[in-house]
Structure 1
Amino acid sequence: MINQHPETLLNTQLENLPGEGYVFNWFDWFCLWYPPGWLILFNRHWQHYHTDPDGWNWLEYGLFLIPGGFYLALLSRWLRLGFRSPRKEVGEFDPKYQQAFRQEVLGPIVKSYFRGELQQVENLPSTGPLIVAMNHAGMCFPWDFLTLGYLLSETRGWVVQPVASPALFEHPWVIWWLPPKWSQVLGGVRAELDNFEAAIAQGKILLYAPEGIRGPLKGWRRRYQLEKFDVSFIQLSDRYHIPILPVVCIGSESLHLWAVNFTKLQRLVKLPFLPFSPLMLVLLLFPSMGIWAMRTRLRYFIQSLEPARLDNNSNKGRAVAYQQAQQLREKLQLQIHQFLGKS
């Protein structure tokens, strides 16, 4: 299994990283603190390790940084590619590149911008496999997931893979923004039952949102109010005897302030959610800000491990699994209120 010897695996990855590592220079720091430049960071890092003739070039990067320039950059790239979309390559998970991306790009972002921190680390087990179940929110690029994955990897040396919406793999907007195989190479697991179960069966450490897409969809008005939990992670935990590690995230609701979901337009463009807020006026001028989020402090409170049930009822019915999932939801909701100082 991929997580049996994390220290040995990660040392091997470091030895085999292609060429010299990517080091933040003045332009990268400028991009970090200038919101339209975040997309440049992701693509520049990818191009440092991969040959990507269909990717963005320096002229187009420069256009990202001026109001309305992204539209000219998009036109330039489309003409350069001969009036076609970037190639839709299928990528395999690459732990070596995930390690490089985590250390060289996520590290500065998590430490300097999101100020991510783990609390109650004593509740972390020594190794996997695990289902790490977290309240997912923010109505933006999944920075709460990426930050938690980074912190767990730095603390325990784990190889962590997030369960992600299919839109992050194949939506045309994402294919133009990012390399087409970017999500797969970084370890994303499609949020579909067959893919989720296959990853569980392989004994991986997975980041999972029990609320599903309902978490981000609830918007600013229902912030920190947990939605109904799905039952699949309970059933798969019992079937494969894999424990669940609940995590409470405080700060994720502030990643996109005052956002509400425009349901009809969201369905029209086939996105998992389409947030509207005063910030969307800026996004129209700078579409490259689609992966950006507001600066906040992301705190993660590790809860006690929920061990897999090894009794004769491990293949429980859906009704029983549903009841257990909602009990966990109520438990985490109480923890959220306590951390927020509510009664």
Structure 2
Amino acid sequence: MINQQSEKILNTQREKASGEGYKFSWFDWFCIWYPPGWLILFNRHWQHYHADPDGWNWLEYGLFLIPGGFYLALLMRWLRLGCRSPRTEVGEFNPKYQQAFREEVLGFIVKYYFRGELQQIDNLPQTGSMIVAMNHAGMCFPWDFLTLGYLLGTRGWVVQPLAGVSLFEHPWVIWWLPPKWSQVLGAVRAELGDFEKAIATNTQGKILLYAPEGLRGPLKGWRRRYHLQKFDVSFIQLSDRYHIPILPVVCIGSEALHPWTFNLKKLQRLFKLPFLPFSPLMLILLLFPSMGVWAMRSRLRYFIQPFEKDINSTKGRAAAYRQAQQLQEKLQLQLNHLLGKPTKR
């Protein structure tokens, strides 16, 4: 159910903004083409629709754009807020804001920067609830997920991706992005209880975007690109329990979002991050931390596979594990075929 208070806030902010949606200024176009500015654009768009006194201000935005300036901006904001973290009151999924962000910001990035494309669209159903299962990689901000969500959204679907817990509550994300930004845009915590609740609540027309590899996909690093990792079984079990079909999707191009990377496991655990990639790009990120939401330009192509029709016959965890393994093998064969790799016999 849509939170009425959140909807009212959004409508009020629309009226305050001269009754119009977000219009790009020259500064926004500059932010699109200057990587440290992406974080500015996300926050400015939010502030157009929401009153956010704890958010970043113009002076702090300006500091984002110079080497090392983000650290000074962070200190200034912390002092301005009285040495505390930003408030995080707003937190309910708001399809109206998701649509506004998709049309006014995400659309340009998907079409002209990541060049997202849906392939084999004859396999797309007309409507109905489903779990869209996709290989996930890139070791960066989840642009492969956001791009697919946008492309499916252009068909009138309301898509909710499962996202790592760090995108909801990690201190870095709380300071980077607007309050509860992931929740408001529809993300569901990638934990079994939240996953099941999202499926069980209002299953009619529910579309969840899911990565069966979990964090193992991004963690595998550049040397094992396009090698699918072990699939979790939770999505098989929940598909069976709630009679929701699984629509597999194969993504080509996501591995190039943050190329030549490997994970720094010790530092990852120290900072309690899902992964901490190291590559030549990390040297730039140290100077411009706002680039944490940016990724290398890539062409993201999504190949829609036929529905998995035999899922709703699993009995027990062992059967669900076999189903997950079979789906992983099937998608790996499809990946190899699309990449022109020889099939092992």
* TM value normalised by structure 2: 0.92
Residue of structure 2 in register with 1:284 after alignment:
286
Q: 1:334 Cα deviation (Å)?
A: 0.5
> Match for residue 120 of structure 1?
120
1:178-217 maps to which residues of 2 (within 5 A)?
178-202=177-201, 203=203, 204-217=206-219
1:5 maps to what in 2? Answer: none
Structure 1 segments of 4+ aligned residues over 2 angstroms from their partners: 16-19, 307-310
Distance 2:276 2:152 in 1: 29
CA contact (8 A) 2:131 2:208 kept: yes
Matches for 1:1-343 after TM superposition, within 5 Å? 19-154=19-154, 156-202=155-201, 203=203, 204-307=206-309, 309-310=311-312, 313-314=313-314, 316-343=315-342
Is the CA contact 1:170–1:180 (under 8 Å) kept in the aligned structure 2? no
Cα shift at 1:308:
6.0
1:250–1:298 Cα contact (<8 Å) kept = yes
The AA in structure 1 aligned to 2:49 is: Y
Report SS of the residue matched to 1:82: coil
Residue by residue over 1:9-42, the C-alpha shift from the partner in whole angstroms, topping out at 9 and shown as x without a partner, is xxxx99x965310122221111111110000010
TM-score w.r.t. the length of structure 1 is: 0.93
**Which letter does structure 2 place at the counterpart of 1:280?**
M
Q: 1:17 to 1:206 in 2, by over 3 A?
A: farther
| Residues 121 and 302 in structure 1, CA contact (< 8 A), matched pair in contact too | yes
Contact 1:169 1:184 in 2 (8 A): yes
3-state SS, counterpart of residue 174 of structure 1:
helix
Contact 1:238 1:308 (C-alpha < 8 Å) held by counterparts: no
User: 8 Å contact 2:311–2:323 — kept in the other structure?
Assistant: no
SS in 2 for 1:279: helix
Deviations 1:200-244 (A, max 9, x none): 112220000000000000010100000000000000001100000
Q: 1:117 to 1:17 in 2, by over 3 A?
A: farther
Structure 2 residue runs of 5 or longer lacking an equivalent are: 3-9
Distance of 1:305 and 1:26 partners within structure 2? 44
Identity of aligned residues (%): 81
Alpha carbon RMSD of aligned pairs, Å? 1.7
Distance 1:205 1:101 in 2: 19
* Unmatched tracts of structure 1, length 5 or more: 3-12
Of residues 201-210 and 42-51 in structure 1, the stretch that sits farther from structure 2 once superposed is 201-210
Cα distance in 1, alignment partners of residues 217 and 211 from structure 2: 8
1:307, CA displacement in angstroms? 3.0
**Is the CA contact 2:139–2:218 (under 8 Å) kept in the aligned structure 1?**
yes
Deviates more, 1:85-94 or 1:162-171: 85-94
Q: 1:122 to 1:83 in 2, by over 3 A?
A: same
SS state of the match for residue 104, structure 1? helix
- In 2: Cα distance, 1:33 partner to 1:263 partner: 32
Q: Is the 8 A contact 1:260 1:277 kept in 2?
A: yes
SS in 2 for 1:140: coil
Cα-to-partner distance string for 1:144-189 (whole Å, 9 max, x where unaligned): 00000000010x2000000000100000000000012101100010
| Cross-structure match for 1:6 | none
* Deviation sequence 1:25-69 (CA, Å, 0-9, x none): 221111111110000010000000000000000000000000011
User: Does structure 2 retain, via aligned residues, the 8 Å contact 1:174–1:180?
Assistant: no
Aligned AA for 1:263? K
Distance apart, 1:88 and its partner CA:
2.9
Q: How many residues align?
A: 329
CA distance in 2, matches of 1:24, 1:329: 42
- SS at the partner of 2:44? helix
| Cα distance in structure 2, aligned partners of 1:282 and 1:308 | 47
Structure 2 CA distance for aligned equivalents of residues 89 and 174 of structure 1:
15
Letter aligned with residue 36 of structure 1: P
2:277 partner letter: P
- Structure 1 counterpart SS, 2:78: helix
Taking the aligned partners of 2:134 and 2:87, their CA distance within structure 1 comes to: 34
Could you say if the C-alpha distance between residues 136 and 89 of structure 1 is closer, same or farther in structure 2, counting changes exceeding 3 Å? same
